[in-house]
Structure 1
Amino acid sequence: MKGRPMRRIVTKKSNRAALASWMLPPPYIRNPELARPSTEKKLFADWDVSGAGKGRLDPSEETFHFKRLHFCAYHLSRLYRRAERSPRSKRIHRAYCMWTQRYHAIRERLIEANLGLVYDLIGRSRFGNLDRDEMSSEGMMALLRAVDTFDPWRGFRFSTYACNAILRAFSRAAMRDSKRRNLMSVSFEPSFEKSDSLDRRRDDDRNLYRERLRRILDANDAELTQVERLVLERRFPSDEERPRETLDDIGREMNVSKERVRQIQLSALAKLRKSLDADAVLQ
């Protein structure tokens, strides 16, 4: 399929009142594989409700999930057209709801696996005149558009496609900001020239790590034991008003040595660090 122009198929909205509350099928990229009878079984034989796990995806897994995404959109389009002819069919409505849930689960999986691209490009880009929040917003929107328009049959890696889209979004935002500055020029004021962007970036990174760490702890993605969670909570309490306990205090309460408490703490911290290193958002 390399070299062929991409063709996105958009389903026309129905005028039937019975379908007014239905989500319009998302666009999909036309490819002969979608129409083959064996494709559904090939792509969804091992489907589960989670949409296929967590963390980063390797290129082959990513291509597989994008094919799933376009098959969902293709199948929703077919169901939508069938529903126009039989708008009161409960069987079609149930199937439509099921494939809609699958579509959103796969799309969210792909977005989460590639959020790190946005943060990485923000850190490496040289658009110093742009606010970090604005870059985050532009980058996220570019990532969403890239997920919706990527053609998995052309042989390219999604990261290459998405990075180009995100950098173009940064460039367009920088051009708009430059034009705005030219139109709204002001007299020189030294106090306005001092930037706190570096401090804010550090704060943003710190808050992001805290949020991801809290999520890992809540879901116990690090697979901490009950004892490890207890030691961490005593050593690093989530309540800022609660004082930290010493290794000796915890050891006496648990009837173990101070050194044993230290070993449990180090083991728990190593598990958390491993989970943070594998977190797609922080890549």
Structure 2
Amino acid sequence: MPADQALAPASNTKKTPPPARAGKLRARPPAWLAMDELNDANRDADALVEPLGMASHDELKRRTRCRLREEIEFISNPQFGRRDLGKTLFAEPLNLAPRKTELGVAAIRRSGIDMPIHLGRLCEAPLLTPEQEQMLFQRMNYLLQQAAVHRSQLDPARPSRVRLELIDRLIALASWHRDRIVEANLRLVFSIVKKFVNASNRFDDLLSDGIVALIRAVEKFDFDRGFRFSTYATQVIRRNSYRTVVVNQQERQKTVGGLQDMDLDLTDEGRESAISEKRWHELRSRLSVMLDELDRREKFIIRARFSLGAHRKVHTLQSLANRLGVSKERVRQLERRAMDKLRAMAGDVNLEELETQ
């Protein structure tokens, strides 16, 4: 793998265990949760947090058990142990700049790719200053840490409606801060994934995967390392795009190999764009229909022998014989019968039409 694909050692990716129980913590919202700096985040959280005032005791017990099964991961920091940290963190204003339509339009133009103009809306958030970035990461992880503290106090035998609502709100507030980081870095995703676009890898698919990689990078980034998030995110997104392209190539090669073994000569290394991505989907769809015409054992043998579907490697005749409880020769006969059926069906498929469209 090229050196620039290597993941920079920028993140503490291990799970942070929930704080030890050091005495019962009162299940009530802290005063800093109502500070003006959290007004926007709280408005969004109001739409996400479900009130539990009418929930029965059994429902509260069920929700408590569900919450205890879900880990709350965050990047820890020594400062999180300070009692007054919440008040200090949310006293200083973020001063986020408003979204600008011209930033999204410029991102579309710079991409050099023909894509829907509405995608430009993803890039309307201005870049963050180093101070804003630091504050957002610190606040996000502190909110998650506080949620983990209250999670550690949950008791299914004595469920607390107030504590469950508080945990949900803290997680929703953390998500609001995470989203501000993500939207400010979406132009970075655009600039990286467009370099991997070709006839076989569409921009919108790569963009979708790239955004997921960006979100994962936000959740794993250690804000206390002293360098900008974009340095780390670039490596994560680039490596993810590279992996996506490789996996897509491997899937196409498997499909081509399976069709070639049915005496269907569909590929020509010298004409890369002869069959488009759409045509490949049509071929795979037709192959799937053809396989459905086989009986259960024949279908299983063909998929396993040509590494199709869920099979990630080519299986030997003997391994299939062991799986099916028959002799190796019987597997060979079933494979030959299935291939004959597929060849007969392939004669009715207008492959020439697919190649020339």
TM-score, normalisation: structure 2 = 0.46
Alpha-carbon distance between aligned partners in 2 of 1:4 and 1:131, rounded to the nearest angstrom: 30
Cα pair distance change 1:80/1:47, threshold 3 Å = farther
Q: Which residue pairs with 1:38 in the alignment?
A: 84
| Residues 1:8 and 2:15 are matched in the alignment | yes
Quick one: which of 111, 122, 126 aligns to 2:182?
111
**59, 62, 70: which one pairs with 1:17?**
62
- The corresponding residue for 1:178 is 249
Report the more deviating stretch, 145-154 or 82-91.
82-91
Residue 233 of structure 2 corresponds to residue 187 of structure 1 = no
How is 1:118-133 mapped onto 2 (pairs within 5 angstroms)? 118-123=189-194, 125-128=195-198, 129-133=200-204
* Deviation of 1:84 (Å): 2.5
Distance 2:184 2:10 in 1: 27
> 1:148: Cα distance to partner?
0.9
Of 79, 83, 87 in structure 1, the residue corresponding to residue 154 of structure 2 is 83
Shift of 1:87: 4.2
Distance change >3 Å, CA 92–CA 33, structure 1 → 2 = same
Is the counterpart of residue 62 in structure 1 residue 136 in structure 2?
no
Residue number in structure 2 paired with 1:248? none
What amino acid is aligned across from residue 19 of structure 1 in structure 2?
T
Question: Residue type of the partner of 1:27?
Answer: E
Contact 2:64 2:159 in 1 (8 A): no
Deviation, 1:187, is 1.8
Deviation at 1:33, TM superposition (A): 1.2
Distance 2:236 2:252 in 1: 24
Q: Is the 8 A contact 2:10 2:222 kept in 1?
A: no
> Which segments of 5 or more consecutive residues in structure 2 lack a partner in the other structure?
1-8, 20-60, 100-124, 257-264, 279-357
Cα drift, residue 8 of structure 1: 3.0
Aligned partners of 1:167, 1:159: CA distance in 2, in Å?
A: 12
Q: What is the identity, as a one-letter code, of the residue corresponding to 1:137? A: S
Cα deviation digits, residues 196-246 of structure 1 (max 9, x gap): 99xxxxxxxxxxxxxxxxxxxxxxxxxxxxxxxxxxxxxxxxxxxxxxxxx
Aligned residues between the structures:
192
Name the CA distance, whole Å, in 2 between partners of 1:132 and 1:72: 35
Pairwise CA distance, 1:96: 2.3
> 2: CA distance between counterparts of 1:184 and 1:6?
36
Q: Which one-letter code corresponds to 1:145 in the other structure?
A: R
Structure 1 segment 109-258 matched on structure 2, within 5 A = 109-123=180-194, 125-128=195-198, 129-185=200-256, 187-188=266-267, 193=274
Give the structure 1 partner of residue 341 of structure 2: none
SS in 1 for 2:174: helix
Question: Percent same amino acid among aligned pairs?
Answer: 25
SS in 2 for 1:83: coil
Is contact 2:150-2:167 (8 Å) kept?
yes
**Alignment match of 1:27 (pick from 73, 89, 110):** 73
Q: Supply the distance in 2 between the matched residues of 1:25 and 1:76 (Cα, whole angstroms).
A: 10
Greater displacement, 17-26 / 163-172? 17-26
What CA distance in whole angstroms lies between the structure 1 residues aligned with 2:157 and 2:86? 23
Cα deviations by residue, 1:234-259 (Å, 9 ceiling, x for unpaired): xxxxxxxxxxxxxxxxxxxxxxxxxx
**Is 1:71 aligned to residue 172 of structure 2?**
no
Structure 1: tracts of 5 or more residues without a match: 198-283
Q: CA deviation at 1:141?
A: 1.1
CA distance in 2, matches of 1:42, 1:77: 20
Q: 1:191 to 1:126 in 2, by over 3 A?
A: closer
* 8 Å CA contact 1:7, 1:30 repeated in 2: no
Per-residue deviation, 1:172: 0.4
- CA displacement at 1:63 relative to structure 2: 1.4
* CA spacing shift, 1:127–1:72, aligned 2, 3 Å: same
AA aligned to 2:133 is: E
Q: Report the TM-score when normalising by structure 1.
A: 0.57
Moved more, 179-188 or 33-42: 179-188
Q: Which amino acid aligns with 1:8?
A: K
Tell me if structure 2 keeps the 8 A contact 1:51–1:109: no
